[in-house]
Structure 1
Amino acid sequence: MKIYLIRHGQTDWNIQGRIQGSHDIPLNEAGRRQAEQLAKGMDSRLVTRIFSSTLARAMETAQRIGSRQKVEICPMPQLIEVEFGKWEGMTWEEIMEAYPNEYRMWALNPDEVAPPGGETQEQVIKRCAEALKEIIRITGGREDIAMVSHGATIAYLVSYMMHNDPEVESMIVENASITTVNYSPLTEDYMLLEMNDTSHMLEE
């Protein structure tokens, strides 16, 4: 079973460097073009279903793929972006200035420390693991599927699949990128095949 982990296209907050988290920010014009290019890039990666975060930027990206491949979109709230609480809408520079102690504690131990009003890494991984379990139950672990989600969520999810590999934990997930993981229903193991592929993107 191949699992294609896909990040949504670009938004205005991406350009501004603002933390989006659970805020429902739509794709911008460039993001919609990226979603189209991504959908074409998925032509060689046919799937039976697409599971998507319920946030608009992810759903719109998923819909471009689903429309092209004529497959069902399955909304999954467990795949939304990490909730960053009071930090949402801010840049990292603004966060470090306004919340220096909280930021320092979170950066040192994101597993157990959450941004004010947000989620810990452990909480995010727990809900993503539940989503994976449900997807494997639905597909029997024998269908190739796509999961459309968000940068931090995908990084945490791949880290979970790879048993906290430090190289994976530091991965930067680009807009409209594809990360491919193979799942074996026999061993229940995951194997990372390709990380953060953006070769389908055309030069702007």
Structure 2
Amino acid sequence: MKIYLIRHGQTDWNLAGRIQGSHDISLNETGRRQAEYLARGMKKRPVVQIFSSKKKRAMETANAIGASQGVKVIPLDGLEEVEFGLWEGMTWKEIQEKYPEEYKIWQKEPAEITPPGGESRQQVYERVGKAADKIVKRAEGDVAVVSHGAALAYMLSYMMRKSLGSHEEIIVENVSISTVEYDKDTGMYTLIELNDTSHLPG
């Protein structure tokens, strides 16, 4: 069974470099075009179910795929973006200026600090892990999962069982497709492709 992990399209906050986290931001014009290109790219990857974060930017992206393939989108708890607390709405430069000590630790070892009022890495890891378990139990064939950059990085980490403290951070691009093969007999995941954006022009 194949699981296609997909990040939502661009938003104005992405463009401005602002952390969105739990904020419910819609796609911008570029993001909507990206979702259309994504839907075309997914035609060679037919799915029987599409699971999505409930946030607008994810649902709008998932609905583009669903409309193209005639598949209903299933909103699923646990796929939301990481909650960054007081850092949400800020750029990394603003965070560095306002929270210099926390920023310094975050840059060196993110596992050692939680954004003020936000989720810890362990909390996110457990949340997206539970969502991944729900998906493979409910999957009736190949599926798409539409979520967010950090949440998908944690999900890939959960599937690959990588260390939370790893310095090799996974960066998930807008409307990228990462393909994972899941073996229901063994419960093992295999990463086939990471960050495919070949469906985008240029």
Are positions 1:5 and 2:5 aligned together? yes
Are positions 1:144 and 2:136 aligned together? no
Alpha-carbon distance in 1 for matches of 2:103, 2:155: 22
Alpha-carbon distance in 2 for matches of 1:88, 1:78: 19
Does the aligned pair in 2 maintain the 1:158–1:168 contact within 8 Å? no
TM-score by length of 2: 0.94
Query: Which residue does the alignment assign to 1:35?
Result: 35
Residue of 147, 161, 164 corresponding to 1:163 = 161
- For structure 1, the residue ranges without an aligned partner over 5 or more in a row are none
Are positions 1:200 and 2:192 aligned together? no
Corresponding residue SS for 2:106: helix
Higher mean displacement: 185-194 or 129-138: 129-138
How many Å apart are 1:152 and its aligned residue? 0.7
- For structure 2, the residue ranges without an aligned partner over 5 or more in a row are none
Deviations 1:131-188 (A, max 9, x none): 111112212xx51101000111111111121121688942221111000000101111
Percent identical pairs in the alignment equals: 58
Does the aligned pair in 1 maintain the 2:132–2:155 contact within 8 Å? no
Deviations 1:42-62 (A, max 9, x none): 001011100000000000000
Alignment of 1:176-191 (within 5 A): 176-191=175-190
Deviations 1:108-143 (A, max 9, x none): 44335210000111111111111111112212xx51
Query: Which residue does the alignment assign to 2:21?
Result: 21
In structure 2, do the counterparts of structure 1 residues 36 and 167 end up closer, same or farther at CA, with 3 Å as the change threshold? farther
Aligned residues: 201
How many Å apart are 1:105 and its aligned residue? 3.0
TM-score by length of 1: 0.93
Higher mean displacement: 180-189 or 162-171: 162-171
Does the aligned pair in 1 maintain the 2:109–2:167 contact within 8 Å? no
In structure 2, do the counterparts of structure 1 residues 196 and 167 end up closer, same or farther at CA, with 3 Å as the change threshold? farther
Query: Which residue does the alignment assign to 1:50?
Result: 50
Alignment of 1:42-121 (within 5 A): 42-111=42-111, 113-121=113-121
Matched residue type, 2:110: P
Corresponding residue SS for 2:191: strand
In structure 2, do the counterparts of structure 1 residues 43 and 167 end up closer, same or farther at CA, with 3 Å as the change threshold? farther
In structure 2, do the counterparts of structure 1 residues 115 and 29 end up closer, same or farther at CA, with 3 Å as the change threshold? same
